[in-house]
Amino acid sequence: MNTIIKGFAAVTLTALAAATGYAAEHGSMAVPGAVDPAGRRVLTFIAKDPPGVRCNGNLQVAAELANTYRVPIQLLPASLAPGLPAPAVFYGEQVIVADGKDHNGVASFQIVADVLDVEGVPRQAKEGLLFNEKVRVDFDALKASIKTGGK
């Protein structure tokens, strides 16, 4: 009986490893908090600890997306998402960009917005202030400063 249990455990672990490899290869990973309590997929931004230039840029993209879309967004440090690439952006468990994969972890508003539009994510009734001309100038200056490392 013990041999049967060991054999079953080995088969189960092998199947689990194969499924995990398949999911990672095909753009799906186990993301903590991928779905909110209401059942909506969450837009997850994973940043390195401490955040680097790509991570800071991705967080600015998160602000732009929150300004436009009605989507739950979570920002996670890599330490709370072990085994996942950082920087990375996921919609639910679907990889949008990830370090070493698509776009090498660098998100843009348009890349993520395209996914959200295809998925039918509703837009805000009124866009936030980030697209106001006065605010946008300061926001773009902040993004440029991040890209140049504050130089």
Profile the chain (151 residues) by mean pLDDT over runs of 10 residues: 46 36 57 95 91 77 93 94 94 95 91 97 87 77 76 69
Nearest-5° Cα angle at 114, 71 to 79: 55
- For residue range 77-102, list pLDDT tens digits in order: 999 999 999 999 999 999 999 999 87
Q: What is the pTM of this model?
A: 0.71
Domain ranges of the chain: 1-27, 31-147
Q: What is the pLDDT of residue 140?
A: 78
Rounded CA separation 127/113 (Å): 14
As given in the structure block, the two tokens for residue 83 are 């085994």
Return the closest-CA partner of residue 31 out of 84, 68, 97: 84
Q: Which CATH class is domain 31-147?
A: alpha beta
